[in-house]
Amino acid sequence: MNTENSRRDFLLASSAAVLGTTTVLGAGTPLQKNTQEKHGKTLDPPQTPVCISSGNGLRAVERARERILAGDDPVLAVVNGVGIVEADPNDMSVGYGGLPNEDGVVQLDSSVMHGPTHKAGAVGAIENIMHPAQVALKVLQTTDHVMIVGRGAYQFARAHGFKKTDMLTDKARAAWVRWKQTQSSRDDWLDPDQMDWTPDGTQLSNATNPNEPVPFTYGTIHCAAVNTKGEVSACTTTSGLSYKIPGRVGDSPIIGAGMYVDNDIGAAGATGRGEAVIQSCGAFAVTEAMARGMDPTQACLHVLKKIAYNSTKQKRLMRPDGNPNFGVTMYALRKDGVFGSAAMYKGASFTVADAKGSRSVKCAALFG
């Protein structure tokens, strides 16, 4: 008996059961062939590169597509693309300027995956490095590991010449201080409506607006690309849940959760509540749903339904109307360049760069 085929058949049968399908591949049937049969067509590579990203990734998809057209491998292109957002101090969910953990320390997570080789690299809870996606790429390129975390990830980055950077911007620091002030009325931090002085020492005649919301995010950037050879790659990078417990790692650096690539099928990624995505193996599940014949948008909605269902088992995660009290957005790019995205609630968007140019597109929504 061919052990590898037996293992493959078992995995495919298990996936079919999870996804609620009735068709199981026969022994030795290539997954790509099954995908082609389900769609009734061959998944030929697109005639032009296609890149997709989360709503904050318009510049990322533009850069990634430019790099692919210039001859870069898609994995290099997506890392280059997200690097723009990692270095942007105005995006408080990614990289430099990202909101810190509860101790005021910015800890970053990132993962990268290269479809043709099925290799992946990731870093978790890395500090003082501006471009965690580039460090994750180095893990993929130069090691036999997949994930390096914490102090080890920082030392690995420094060994590769990455510069130590203070990642906490003044804007993010001010948000963190305000978060501490507003956590409880029973501590010794004065709430905004209790203060008599501004942070720069100016006396106030009226307190600052106590109703102004404290900045909070579990945002991220995901970017995926396919070239005209049908080579697929993806990257997800984030500063994670704001004010998190130090050392917390979300879905973004976890292969199969916040990002996954199967070069026979395509790529998928996630933004939003990382714990919910991890517990449903979000990106892997989207990719497998595409392999079973769902188009990218259908696959994203399918997995969001599973995430929403799983959340009903934890009452603290549910709204009075019975829907989840958090957001998740899934993204999918098929090998032939067809793409899609879906969010838990309406109003979200994602970004695309293809032959039609770069643009924002409304996500499908599971709930209104």
Active site residue 220: yes
Residue 315 gets which letter from DSSP?
G
CA atoms within 13 A on the CB side of 243: 16
Residue type, 354: D
- In terms of DSSP H, where are the helices of the chain? 3-19, 31-39, 58-69, 74-86, 132-142, 150-159, 170-182, 274-279, 282-291, 296-311
Distance from the first to the final alpha carbon of the chain: 51
Name the residue with tokens 């079919």: 16
- What residues contact residue 294 under an 8 Å CB cut-off, 6+ apart? 302
Say if residues 104 and 176 touch (Cβ distance below 8 Å): yes
CA angle 39, 41, 43 (to 5 degrees): 90
Say if residues 108 and 123 touch (Cβ distance below 8 Å): yes
How many beta carbons lie within 10 A of that of residue 220, not counting itself?
33
Nearest CA to 132 out of 99, 94, 176 is that of 94
Instruction: Determine the Cα–Cα distance for residues 96 and 239; give it in Å rounded to an integer.
Output: 8
Instruction: Determine the Cα–Cα distance for residues 34 and 312; give it in Å rounded to an integer.
Output: 33
Nearest CA to 74 out of 86, 87, 63 is that of 63
Active-site choice (35, 169, 220, 238): 220
- In terms of DSSP H, where are the helices of 20-57? 31-39
Nearest CA to 279 out of 247, 246, 314 is that of 314
Nearest CA to 141 out of 157, 156, 119 is that of 119
Radius of gyration of the chain (CA): 21
Residue 154 gets which letter from DSSP?
H
Which residues are tagged catalytic? 220
